[in-house]
Amino acid sequence: MNERHQIDHPHPARQRIPHRPARFRLRASTALPAWVALIARVVVLHVMSRLPQAILFWTAYVLTRPLGATLTKPHAQGGLAFGRLAATCAIGAVLVLLIAAAPSLRKAAKDFRTG
């Protein structure tokens, strides 16, 4: 029986490793609130602190790098399955909205800093 087991399963040790429960898997739907909170923290630091802009830029850059991959990954792999064109349009729309809102956001940040 032991020989048959080895023939059927060339790596029997792998069969004994328990899988993590589904509640511990990191998916886009569970990671999104954490990601939004981290980006919001960068925004708050931009408005409320005098940290160098380069540090905040690179922090935001590193946080947003996986966003495109997450949008295009299939649901089975933890993504949102937008497809490349839809993901590009979604990210482009967010960028256009942020660029359009930049003057008013800049004024609000300046008013906040000066008191």
pLDDT in tens, 12-32: 555 555 555 555 566 666 777
Helix (H, G, I), strand (E, B) or coil at 79: coil
For residue 60, is it within any domain?
yes
Asked whether the whole model's pTM tops 0.85, one would answer no
> What was the pLDDT predicted at 13?
54
* Residue range 68-77: mean pLDDT, rounded: 83
Q: Which are the contacts of 6, defined by CB distance < 8 A and separation ≥ 6?
A: 12
For residue 35, is it within any domain?
yes
For residue 20, is it within any domain?
no
Q: Is 55 exposed, middle or buried (0-12, 13-18, 19+ CB in 10 A)?
A: exposed
Domain residues for 103? 26-114
- Radius of gyration (Cα) for the chain, nearest Å? 22
For residue 10, is it within any domain?
no
Which residue, chain included where needed, has tokens 């409320």?
Answer: 48
For residue 91, is it within any domain?
yes
Total of domains in the chain: 1
Contact 45, 28 (CB under 8 A): no
> What was the pLDDT predicted at 12?
55
Q: What is the pLDDT of residues 29-63, one digit of tens each?
A: 677 788 889 988 998 888 788 889 899 999 999 98
